[in-house]
Amino acid sequence: MGQRRMEVVELAGSASSVLATGVSFLQPEDAVFESMLDGWAAQQHSRLLATTTVENRVLTVRRFFAFTNEFPWSWTPSDVEEWTSFLVSNGMAHSTIRHYQTCVSLFVDFLCDSRYGWVEICEQRFGDHPAQIFNEWNTAVHRADSEARPENRPLSREELQVFFDHCDERVERAERLGRKGWLAAYRDAVMFKTIYAWGLRRREAAMLDVSDFAPNAKAPQFGPYGVLNVRYGKASRGSPPRQRTVLTVMRWSADVMGDWIRDVRPAYQAGQSAMLWPTERGGRVSCSSIDDRFAQYRDELGLDPVLGPHCLRHSYASHLLEDGFDQLFVQQQLGHRWGSTTATYTTVGSDYMQKTLARALRPAFEGQLIEA
């Protein structure tokens, strides 16, 4: 019986697969570091991680490298502590800092894995090797169920009405004065109303196409805008965008969307493009432009400076609950996996709380009137 030959499988991202052998580099440290990043990217792609996830992780490692001005085989735990202090001093959120630390820690784990050969390469060429520099004493921990920024609060109904009225006034003023920007102002006004009326994130709204709307047979009163298919929902780490179906619940929103698609959007002469929010240059509206326009209107009104476009999504959740919608329905509309996440989005008014209390206590007080 002959001996079975064992084939050696070269792992994606290993030093031997990305680092040229028999070559003398003018700057060997830079060459090895770039090969490490290429190898890590290849290893992550082999695990079917999303390209954007891989690119963002590599970018984070480059930021850490630029901060330390040292190569991975010279990194120390004190570098982590100094970097973290720097991030904190620049106002980074706790969750963002933890995400950055996790990215660099994963990179170091990859380098230290003997299967990929980077430790051996570093010892041969530089007389040193990478070691894990992150530990429980110098990393941010996940202490709370939610680490959302407290300033992401819902707008009150009064604030929301004032904001939408201001959006409409900007359109009317630009049109009355014959200014070229009236079309963009109209687009932005409808876009903000859409973010609120369907509880969208900025990117979800920016990536919408006209074809993402469809009728809802159970709610014919909304016409062709009874259902919205969100194709670019927030993804889990390393996964493609999550899709969800959002049912239209506000009658006025279908009318606003119909006016935009039917009467105004054609003025952009988008041709065969299906994008819902085209720009004058034929591209899509960016998330940064949504932020900038919201901030401009907010500041013109003197509203709370902490408010941002994401607060419209919080407002949607809170107002639906105040209007009597079931919490599970709201959770599904928002695309949340857990009800606890939806709970962090909602801040209902005292009047709603009093009415809810009255409904809950009424059966226990037979015949006694509880006024809300």
Q: pLDDT for 106-154, tens place per residue?
A: 999 999 999 999 999 999 999 999 999 998 888 876 554 444 555 578 8
Other C-beta atoms within 10 Å of 195: how many? 24
Of 15, 33, 105, nearest in space to 73 by CA: 33
SS3 assignment, position 361: helix
For the chain, the first-to-last Cα distance in angstroms comes to 88
In tens, the pLDDT along 247-263 reads 999 999 999 999 999 99
In tens, the pLDDT along 56-101 reads 999 999 999 999 999 999 999 999 999 999 999 988 888 789 889 9
Domains of the chain: 15-126 (1.10.150), 157-361 (1.10.443.10)
Helix, strand, coil percentages, rounded to 5, for the chain: 60, 5, 35
Place of tokens 């930021």: 63
Q: Phi/psi at 213 (nearest 5 deg)?
A: -95, 145
Place of tokens 């901060």: 67
Mean pLDDT of 196-217: 96
Confidence class for position 347, pLDDT limits 50, 70, 90: low
pTM for the structure as a whole: 0.63
CB neighbour list of residue 88: distance below 8 Å, 6 or more residues apart = 97
In tens, the pLDDT along 260-304 reads 999 999 999 877 789 999 998 889 999 999 999 999 999 999 998
Confidence class for position 345, pLDDT limits 50, 70, 90: low
